[in-house]
Structure 1
Amino acid sequence: MTGAPVLVEHHGDTTTLWLARADRGNALGPDMVDALDGGIDAALAAGARLIALRGQGRNFCTGLDLSDLDAIGDGDLALRILRIELLLQRIHGLPVTTLAIASGRVFGAGADLFAVCDHRIALAGASFAFPGPAFGLVLGTARLAGLVGDTAARQLLLAGQPVEASRALALGLATAVIDADATDGAIGAAHAAATRLDAPTVAALHARTRRADDAGDLAALARSVARPGLKARVEAYRAKVAAARR
């Protein structure tokens, strides 16, 4: 594996952060999380008014990177998950406009990453799932409920099954569904909306329209990862998914 886990592109006052681990489905490992944090720092330092998140390759983000699960213990795994939640909270609270453009599989923490953005564009053929509760993980549930409503959030979390882009749009998880060739136009429209007002006004509006319980979400997540047997639950879930695919 070579190259940076996140590629940062500045185009005027739009910064695009490309998740660049296509060989791993752009799954969120520690290096990816750190690189996204750094990319956000770079975007803000450059005066970005719009920060766009995209994934290289087929999938936007397939969730938590478990490629080295055999080599880590419960504590390291729990810390990785907590760090993802802190990143999600940071993106959700940014004083600038955010945009996610998602293709392919948008699963687990990847679906949570999509959900924290202002503009949430699904490319045709994308699918979304929140399988974390299947191994006892409570990640971003209050934010999801604030986005799609309590009943829909419970249905998504309890079922854990993928929903197609059209269903995500109907629920309010996605704000638009487009074909890939309409991507540039969607970015242009998001940029126009982001820059219609001055930066302090956008920041103030974000602060007043944000509905989140960061401390409560973090506490619920911490309790869920602190339950004994976190790694064993993840391993059992992976084995079940692999068996179903066979």
Structure 2
Amino acid sequence: MIEVSREGGAAVLCMTRTERGNALSAGLVEALISAVETCIADPAINTLVLTSQGADFCTGFDLSNMQPAAGAEETAAIDGALLWRFVRIEHLLATLWHAPLRTVAVVQGRAFGAGADLFAACDVRLATADAQWRFPGAGFGIVLGTRRLGEHVGVDRALAWVTTGASIDAQQALSQGLATGVIPAGAWREHLTPLSVDRPTCAALRAAARTDLRDADLAALVRSATRAGLSQRIENYRNTLRKKKPEQASAQQ
């Protein structure tokens, strides 16, 4: 589900789950975590670049295999499995946010839900002119990534985007600080300035610049996900999507 390549001191992770718009299945999340942690463990890598194949960067939390529960016991099992998937996504986002190297995301097309959170978790955030973002997870009661988004665009704007399900285009993302650059498709290499510090210095600078709130972010997510009826809230959200745009209901947060 991902391809990994090396370009000098940069590792490029490319999501290849194009048939689902690179939606974050459990398997894709685990593959990304493994690849990111492998890059962090390699002292020769100073930059991690997250890209994707296909029309869209990442359409969010993959809902395609969800089935309605038949009873209380099955509902509890489904809710528990969903909670674990969200926890693993938060682990991926926190690992990127606190990585001891430069992180880069390159977006084309849709970056929705957890896909938008992936983008916001990176240092350098490049996008093509057709890119668009949405943060709809709050629509089914999940608190994920909002603080990191607020670091870029301000708390008030982040809350407005998250609570209204706003759609953000590339120019708005650039002007408000969500994106750091708008680039032609495939041109991210030309827009990536070489680092002038070694990796230990980069790691020390990042640690000094970012308060470590991983425990608080995880706790906020778990509290939101353990409210009763997680799978039903998601099903209600999917039904809303079906009424608006049926093709979105199966693959997006």
Flag whether TM exceeds 0.5 (same fold).
Answer: yes
Unmatched segments (≥5 aa) in structure 1: none
Pick the aligned partner of 1:133 from 138, 142, 161.
138
User: 3-state DSSP class of the match of 2:67?
Assistant: helix
What CA distance in whole angstroms lies between the structure 2 residues aligned with 1:118 and 1:109?
A: 17
Q: Deviations over 1:51-101 (max 9, x none)?
A: 000011011011101111118711101110111001100110000001000
Pick the aligned partner of 1:61 from 46, 58, 83.
58
How much does 1:181 deviate?
4.8
Q: Does residue 206 of structure 2 align to residue 210 of structure 1? A: no
- One-letter code aligned to 2:32: L
Pick the aligned partner of 1:96 from 90, 95, 101.
101
Q: Structure 1 residues 20-29 or 205-214, which shifts more?
A: 205-214
User: 3-state DSSP class of the match of 2:187?
Assistant: helix
Query: Which structure shows the bigger proportion of residues in helix conformation?
Result: 1
What CA distance in whole angstroms lies between the structure 2 residues aligned with 1:12 and 1:181?
A: 18
What CA distance in whole angstroms lies between the structure 1 residues aligned with 2:16 and 2:208?
A: 33
Moved over 4 A (4+): none
**Which structure ranks higher in relative contact order (CA pairs < 8 Å, sequence separation ≥ 6)?**
2
Q: What TM-score do the two structures reach when normalised by structure 1? A: 0.92
Aligned alpha-carbon RMSD (Å): 1.4
With over 3 angstroms needed to count, the CA separation of the structure-2 counterparts of 1:89 and 1:233, relative to structure 1, is same
How much does 1:178 deviate?
1.2
What CA distance in whole angstroms lies between the structure 1 residues aligned with 2:113 and 2:35?
A: 22
Q: Does residue 28 of structure 2 align to residue 32 of structure 1? A: yes
What CA distance in whole angstroms lies between the structure 2 residues aligned with 1:181 and 1:10?
A: 16
Matches within 5 A, 1:43-54: 43-46=39-42, 47-54=44-51
Aligned residues: 237
How much does 1:126 deviate?
0.3
Pick the aligned partner of 1:80 from 78, 82, 85.
85
Q: What TM-score do the two structures reach when normalised by structure 2? A: 0.90
1:143·1:211 contact (CA, 8 Å) conserved in 2?
Answer: no
Unmatched segments (≥5 aa) in structure 2: 69-76, 247-253
What CA distance in whole angstroms lies between the structure 2 residues aligned with 1:120 and 1:137?
A: 24
Task: Provide the residue aligned with 1:116 in structure 2.
Answer: 121
What CA distance in whole angstroms lies between the structure 2 residues aligned with 1:209 and 1:185?
A: 26
